[in-house]
Amino acid sequence: MRQKFIAGNWKLWGTLDQAKALVSALTPALKSSKNRFLVAPPYTALSAVKELTKGTSLLVGAQDCSNLETGARTGEISVPMLKELGVDVVILGHSERRQFHGETDKLVNEKIKLVLKHGLEVIYCNGETLAEREAGKAAEVVIRQTKEAFAGISEADLKKITIAYEPVWAIGTGKTATPQDANEIHQVIRQTVKELYSKAAADAMIIQYGGSVKPENVKDLMAMPDIDGALVGGASLKADTFLPICLFDQ
Ligand code: PEP
């Protein structure tokens, strides 16, 4: 049985006061669950959130990192800087990074390798746009993205990678893929991991679904055999909506 992994991506939200209040509401409530949990605040709140999560089961993630360890990249944050703060996981390849910052799978691949080199975990995001889905290309897109992103990554390293399937048309739009549609693409991704590595690697791979996950739809999504968790945006910003998602099985 794969452990369910629920992650909250705060995006451009979270002053220090907001971050501290939310994390303080989450940690006691999550204590007794067997699921795995993560919050990904903005860089400016990472240190404070890490401090508050010490001794708890809540993991702390960054939303991105530079593909370089150091150098002339004004405004960027490196993996060693994140590691110094105690960050556990880095989210890479989010569709907003691809859409607004021109990130390619080649760049995402470089970032994955750098994060793994420093011993941190990765949540790697992929997913098709609305135009690609309407053209019947959803499966083709995630196969291509997964192959490019995992180039040169060893099977041993896969233990540190979670995949988040996030159809771009479902992110922040209120439109969720049906559990069946999502599961179908999760199967395609799992099959791709099997072809690239092995059945054991594919069976062990945690594949989250992301795209307008809410307390109302989480149970049906999590009931699907190939959906192993969720990457949650909007609904992760309030304990009132994030906790029922995290604790969907209680
Ligand atoms: C996301 O940011 O990864 C996401 C899935 O957002 P939302 O839940 O708001 O659709």
What tokens appear for 237 in the block?
Answer: 């910003």
This prediction has a pTM of: 0.97
Rounded to an integer, the average pLDDT of 178-195 is 97
Q: Where are the alpha helices (DSSP H) in the chain?
A: 16-30, 43-53, 79-84, 95-101, 105-117, 130-134, 138-149, 179-196, 199-204, 218-222, 239-246
Ligand 1 cavity residues, CB under 6 Å: 9, 166, 171-172, 210-213, 231-235
Nearest CA to ligand 1 atom 4: 233
Residue 1 predicted with pLDDT over 90: no
Task: Report the CATH number that the domain containing residue 141 is assigned in CATH.
Answer: 3.20.20.70
pLDDT (tens digit, 9 = 90+) per residue, 188-209? 999 999 999 999 999 999 999 9
Nearest CA to ligand 1 atom 1: 233
**Active-site residue, selected from the candidate residues 96, 110, 132, 166:** 166
Domain count, the chain: 1
Domain encompassing residue 140: 5-246
Work out the mean pLDDT of the chain and round it to a whole number. Answer: 97
Distance 168 CA to ligand 1 centre (A): 9
Q: Given pLDDT bands bounded at 50, 70 and 90, which one contains residue 151?
A: very high
Share of the chain above pLDDT 90, in %: 96
pLDDT (tens digit, 9 = 90+) per residue, 125-142? 999 999 999 999 999 999
Cα separation, 174 vs 176, in Å, equals: 6
Residue 59 predicted with pLDDT over 90: yes
Distance 65 CA to ligand 1 centre (A): 19
User: Could you confirm whether 94 is annotated as catalytic?
Assistant: yes
Residue 175 predicted with pLDDT over 90: no
Cα separation, 135 vs 133, in Å, equals: 5
Nearest CA to ligand 1 atom 2: 233
pLDDT at 177: 86
